Structure 1
Amino acid sequence: MFVTQPLDCFVRLAIAELISTAAPPNSSLWLAIAAHQHRRSPHQHRRSPRTASTPTTPLAIHSPSLHESTASLHQFLSMEPRIEQSKSNREIRGSDSSSKKAKDLNIEGYPVGGLSIGGHETCIIFPTLKVAFDIGRCPPRAVSQDFLLISHAHMDHIGGLPMYVATRGLYRMKPPTIIVPISLKEDVEKLFEVHRKMDHSELNHNLIGLDVGEEFYLRKDLKVKAFRTYHVIPSQGYILYSIRQKLKPEYIGLSGNEIKNLKSSGVEITYTLTEPEIAFTGDTMSDFIVDENNTDVLQARILVMECTFVNNSITVEHAKDYGHTHLSEIVSYAERLKNKAILLIHFSARYTVEEIQEAVCALPSPLAGRTFALTEANGRSGASWTLRGTISHGIGREDANESVRSTNSGIRSEGIANRSVFSGIGVSIRSLAPPMTP
């Protein structure tokens, strides 16, 4: 084999290819890379500027012994940056420079990251809970989340699932817990079997199938419950509940010693307080709002719900035909939504960010001041799509430099919060043509 590119470039490209294909350590290309690294003299590690008159000399690569190659490869890889494994809140970083400057939007005390463009990709991340809702194309930051909740099997919501599991395995993270609708569990298991057969990888994970109404404890202070949604294929949403132990009212005011004595004598001095914190709908028609079994969804501290269409260019009937929700329906059901904050996601790629901002900022009371929108910032096709937050204020559009302020009583708006950039790796989607639907 002959290479006419600079060696560093070749090595980087080759290693990227080998990692992406999970090639075994004794594959011929791994051995070739190891051999070249082993044979390079010290001065070759320093690259001198190439001039126009400097010819490119082909490099002949020969296969060495397995022992020599393995040792050399180990030496080469030891010089590469390592993923820090000791941090419990470890995150996988991407190459997109915009992600380094991005900051999570804080809603009701929860940092929120992610991206969502109807028909292209949806992945909403709550990093302090280590939870991701849907996986889209597996943005790199999602890999750091230990729990993944899948709403339905459309590709823009589940397409990155194998990569999510494979990447966690690559970085030796613990197997994730993945929750899917019970109707999908068998097919998802088959999907992983196909990928195991193709790339000879383990793809370790804990797959849980939940039916509507069923619960699963993610940890002792956090559980998830599935609720019914209404899409064109089987789907469901999820509610995250916080679980806390609270001192019973009759014991409030007692001294520490008195409480300790009661507890040691076997008296139950606390009760369990379970509160709906976050509800995520995935794709759905507005029918979930009037479902009598979804009371907790409408009372969760934060409701993350789809809002594919926002103005009169698309009718409510069209939205229903495709299993989606129109902003006008949310307005009509506003009195039912008791949530402290509402995050709208999954806007159609047909809209510009200005159109979305105009629609959301004009929302009437009682939606004004508590409704956020997950939007892209730089137009439609051919642009770099960056996720930003917009909040309604019910007055009209104000200066874009104004900010959203959080107080103990909740979130109040002061203009358009389009400088509250949603964090996450891979938040830019390049050269996407807006689809006809959604």
Structure 2
Amino acid sequence: MSAVTLYRRSRMGVMRLLPVILRTLSKRAQYSTQGAIISNPRGRSRQIRIGDMDIVPWTTAGMESCVVVSLSIGQSKKLHLAFDMGYACQQSVKCNHVFISHGHMDHCSAMHQHASKRSLMRNSPAKYYLGSELVRPMETIQENLNQISEFPFQADWTVTKPNDVIQLPGPYHVVPFKTFHRVPSMGFLLYKTTSEVKEEFSKYSRSELKQMELRGEQVYNEVVSPELAYTGDTTFEVFTPPSIPDLLKVKVLITECTYINTVKNINEALTRERGHIHLHEIIRNQHIFSDVQALMLVHFSERYKAENIFHTINKLCPTELKGKLYSACVDKEETHIASY
């Protein structure tokens, strides 16, 4: 078993403790595993750092879902994004771009609370990217809440649909893609645009390249890379074939995995009927995730406890899949993040 090992520094040096599910033992605890850092900011929501992305996952199927992603955009500035807003956790308040996958309450019911919290903190209104079928209902709710609130709030409801290109600050943009659920739904793919020196100019120094640019020569290629994808609620059909070509080429793929075992009436057929993904489907099709660098499973059914999720995934998943696998769930009002 390739479990996570927690290390604690004491007067006697580094003391190795037993493998554990990644969960906070103290507010200053920090864990390092397979290149990822899991830490506990203040509050109940843990965060994990994978590459240059800080991710705060707070998701439970049918209850509440919100995934916060923070990225650097240069000069010590950060871009904060939220995917779904079924719970306006503390870390989500700093997000001024919120992407809503569909209209079920556990994924969108906290948008107005989020907008109100931002207003209270004197932040500018956030942009909420959502399907056209949701805009008028959300505007109506906002109007009603503002009638009874001492402090009215503003929100920028922005219609989006699959294949739109949503430009963000810095080198990032987002493209929504079609997903398969019981109501209209979509996922979101985050891209990053960078520049790299063309091969024929790689031998020149930076100052020489600058001189060439001043003479009008094109010395750089523009490179667009798929960074992160968030599926929201969907069946496994979103991957076979991929709804968007780059879906299975991202560095980090955050996908739902509502059910993890087969008991009583919970099987793959019922999972698909309800518009969700079963762990067995991921295991059986593990080969399609070969180009994904990190696969994070979220949105587990509330029937599962954190230890049950960890041990089931650790037991059932093959070693080659576990090397890139993470899971995040909410148990006893705290986020639990595991690496395998």
Question: Scaled by the length of structure 1, what TM-score is found?
Answer: 0.63
2:271 is aligned with what amino acid? A
Q: Is the 8 A contact 1:108 1:341 kept in 2?
A: no
Write the deviation string for residues 199-223 of structure 1: whole angstroms up to 9, x where unpaired: 3754223322111111110124110
Name whichever of 111-120 and 184-193 sits farther off. Answer: 184-193
| Distance verdict in 2 for CA 1:102–1:138, change over 3 Å | closer
Cα deviation 1:323-381 (Å, max 9, x = unaligned): 1110001112211112100110010011122221122112114312111110245xxxx
Q: How many residues end up aligned between the 2 structures?
A: 290
Structure 1 gap ranges (5+): 1-96, 378-383, 393-438
Aligned to 1:350: 303
**Mapped partners of 1:123, 1:131: distance in 2:** 10
SS of 2:174 mapped into structure 1: strand
Which whole-Å CA distance do the structure 2 matches of 1:153 and 1:385 have between them?
24
Per the TM alignment, residue 318 of structure 1 is displaced from its structure 2 partner at its CA by: 1.1
- Please report how far the alpha carbon of residue 100 of structure 1 lies from its aligned counterpart in structure 2 after TM superposition: 4.8
Cα distance in 2 between the residues matched to 1:154 and 1:181: 12
Query: Which one is further off, 184-193 or 357-366?
Result: 184-193
Query: How big is the shift at 1:307?
Result: 0.3
- Structure 1 distance, partners of 2:206, 2:90, is 47
Kindly tell me: are residues 295 and 177 of structure 1, through their superposed partners in 2, closer, same or farther at Cα, counting changes over 3 Å?
Answer: same
The two structures, once aligned, show a CA RMSD in angstroms of 2.0
Q: 2:284 matched to 1:332?
A: yes
The answer as to whether partners of 2:44 and 2:335 remain within 8 angstroms in 1 is: no
User: What residue number does 1:385 align with?
Assistant: 333
Compute the displacement of 1:193 (Å). Answer: 2.8
1:173 to 123, 135, 158: 123
Structure-2 separation of matches of 1:267 and 1:196: 56
**Cross-structure match for 2:61:** 118
Counterpart in the other structure of 1:289 = 239
1:159 paired with 2:102, answer: no
Q: Percent identity?
A: 25
Secondary structure of the 1:130 match is strand
CA contact (8 A) 2:46 2:57 kept: no
1:98 to 1:316, Cα distance in 2 relative to 1, 3 A: same
Is the 8 Å Cα contact of residues 135 and 160 (structure 1) preserved in structure 2? yes
Partner of 2:258: 308
Judging changes above 3 Å, is the alpha-carbon distance between structure 1 residues 158 and 356 closer, same or farther for their aligned structure 2 residues?
Answer: same
The answer to whether the Cα contact below 8 Å between 1:361 and 1:391 also exists between their aligned partners in 2 is no
Cα deviation for residue 184 of structure 1 reads: 2.3
* Larger strand percent: 2
Query: Structure 1 306/265 Cα, relative in aligned 2: closer, same or farther at 3 Å?
Result: same
Q: CA deviation at 1:227?
A: 0.6
Which amino acid in 2 is paired with 1:305? T
Structure 2 unaligned regions, length at least 5: 1-39, 72-78
Mapping of 1:217-296 within 5 angstroms?
A: 217-296=167-246
The aligned residue for residue 130 of structure 1 is 80
Partner deviation per Cα, 1:32-76 (whole Å, 9 max, x = no partner): xxxxxxxxxxxxxxxxxxxxxxxxxxxxxxxxxxxxxxxxxxxxx
Amino acid at match of 2:139: E
> Taking structure 1 as reference, are residues 268 and 215 closer, same or farther at Cα in structure 2, changes over 3 Å only?
same
Q: Secondary structure at the match of 1:173?
A: coil
- In the alignment, which residue of structure 2 is the partner of 1:104? 47
Among 314, 320, 323, the alignment partner of 1:369 is: 323
Whole-angstrom distance in 1 between the partners of 2:254 and 2:97: 17
1:242-287 CA-partner distances (Å, limit 9, x unpaired): 1112222221111333212211122222221111111000011111
In the alignment, the residues of structure 2 paired with residue 225 and residue 101 of structure 1 have an alpha-carbon distance, to the nearest angstrom, of: 30
Distance 1:123-1:103 versus aligned 2 partners, 3 A rule: closer
Higher relative contact order (CA 8 A, sep 6+): 2
Contact 1:223 1:241 in 2 (8 A): yes
- Counterpart position of 2:143: 193
Q: What secondary structure sits across from 1:126 in the alignment?
A: strand
State the TM-score, normalized to the length of structure 2. 0.80
Task: Give runs of aligned pairs for residues 16-27 of structure 1, distance below 5 A.
Answer: none
User: What is the deviation of 1:303?
Assistant: 0.4
Verify the 8 A CA contact 2:46 2:337 in the aligned structure 1.
no
Structure 1 counterpart of 2:13: none
Question: Contact 2:55/2:70 (CA < 8 Å) preserved in 1?
Answer: yes
Match of 2:33 in 1: none
Question: Secondary structure at 1:175's aligned position in 2?
Answer: coil
Aligned-pair distance for 1:112? 1.4
| Corresponding letter in the other structure for 2:234 | T
Q: What is the correspondence of 1:35-114 to structure 2 with a 5 Å cutoff?
A: 99-100=42-43, 103-114=46-57
3-state secondary structure, aligned to 1:275: strand
Q: 3-state DSSP class of the match of 1:127? A: strand
Q: In the aligned structure 2, how far is the partner of 1:256 from the partner of 1:220?
A: 22
Pair 348,103 (structure 1): closer, same or farther in 2 beyond 3 Å: closer
The answer to whether the Cα contact below 8 Å between 1:232 and 1:323 also exists between their aligned partners in 2 is yes
CA 1:282–1:101: 2 relative to 1, 3 Å: closer
